[in-house]
Amino acid sequence: MRHFGHLPPAVRRRLFHREPGEFHAGSPARTLSVALGATLYCPATRPALARDVVKQARRGVVSMVLCLEDSIADAEVPAAEDNLVRQLTELATDGAAPALPLLFVRVREPGQIPRLTARLGPAARLLSGFVLPKFTEDRGLPFLEALAAAEAEHGQRLFAMPVLESPELLHLETRTDTLTGIARAVEKYRDRVLALRLGVTDFCSAYGLRRAPDMTAYDVHLVASVIGDVVNVLGRADGSGFTVTGPVWEYFPQPERMFKPQLRRSPFAGPAEALRTALIEHDMDGLLREIQLDRANGLQGKTCIHPTHVAPVHALSVVSHEEFSDAEDILRPESGGGGVLRSAYTNKMNEVKPHRAWAERTMLRAEVFGVAREDVSFVELLAAGLRDGEADA
């Protein structure tokens, strides 16, 4: 699979200086953790789950979570497990199905991991791993142990994606100890932890909060402080860190906007003005801003609960030509001794040693999301993704 692989080749050639590379479920974990992109959550109770997975794959989704936890009622769990097994078995035997997204199951308790993999049998090969809810050291280790046992039993690689969403992580008096414990747990199972996901909805719930569509997670200071501390401890660029993904965007319509739109007119000048209007009408301008703030705060990818969120996440994940040029200059062998370089765009200075980690991360993102042509902005990438998604809907 590849990002933007659902676009016609001629469109990709027009948009990309360097096209996104291919990857698959067996690719290195470092590649997959960045390639996750917009991870689309879907309740495991959906009657047409198999068809939904195929549909989203054709629309450019490369990672999905089939949820058995908060998205369904407690009484629905047995039926949801039955449906999940039935639908994945159907997918596994469908010879006409396209390349499927990386599939993960969000479970409620550790025992579900061996139980589901055993029930799936050969169809378990479709799974890339499990999402582990409300992760702390005490609650998380049994999940990781169950995953390791299932991996050994079935002879296939299974990744864990812990969700950091517990009140102990939010509350100031327990945050440091909780973060330290989480760090111990994920380090013990480092080879199996693909990424750490942030459960911002649960953080807000602890204080009875809910952000509006014209506010980002970073406008809620309680939440922003936790994100900063998680990245501080678990997202370091010195080799000890993990990929930390952006929080879910909770879109819900509101009859009247309280604040002015956050999308500047200039990137959308001309024919793209209609796209800007459509994004504002659907309260997507806040999402675009939050994606940019995710990146600025050290997060990659994003949890998504609606297919319309996928194209914006992927469009803003593409490396711009300017970013690529700077990263390439910083990483040139002759620059290894350090120093300061003038940007090829003549608008900044690139400091070789301080910016090296940024450059390495940027090049990894370029491998999976590609590099835009010099005259192509995220607006063109977004418009292409949205047009194709509407055509396939």
Give one DSSP letter per residue of 244-269, joined into a string.
Answer: EEBPPP-----SS-SS---S-SGGG-
Residue 393 predicted with pLDDT over 60: no
* 115-159 pLDDT per residue, tens: 999 999 999 999 999 999 999 999 999 999 999 999 999 899 999
Structural domains of the chain, ranges and CATH numbers in brackets: 24-318 (3.20.20.60)
Burial 283-306 (b: 16+ CB within 10 A, else e): bbbbbbbbbebbbebbbbbbbbbe
Count of CA atoms in the C-beta half-sphere (13 A) of 310: 28
* Residue 96 pLDDT: 67
State the Cα–Cα distance between residues 103 and 23, nearest whole angstrom.
14
User: What pLDDT does 272 receive?
Assistant: 57
pLDDT at 350 over 70: yes
Least confident of 29-38, 162-171, 340-349, 366-375: 340-349
User: Is the pLDDT confidence value at 262 over 90?
Assistant: no
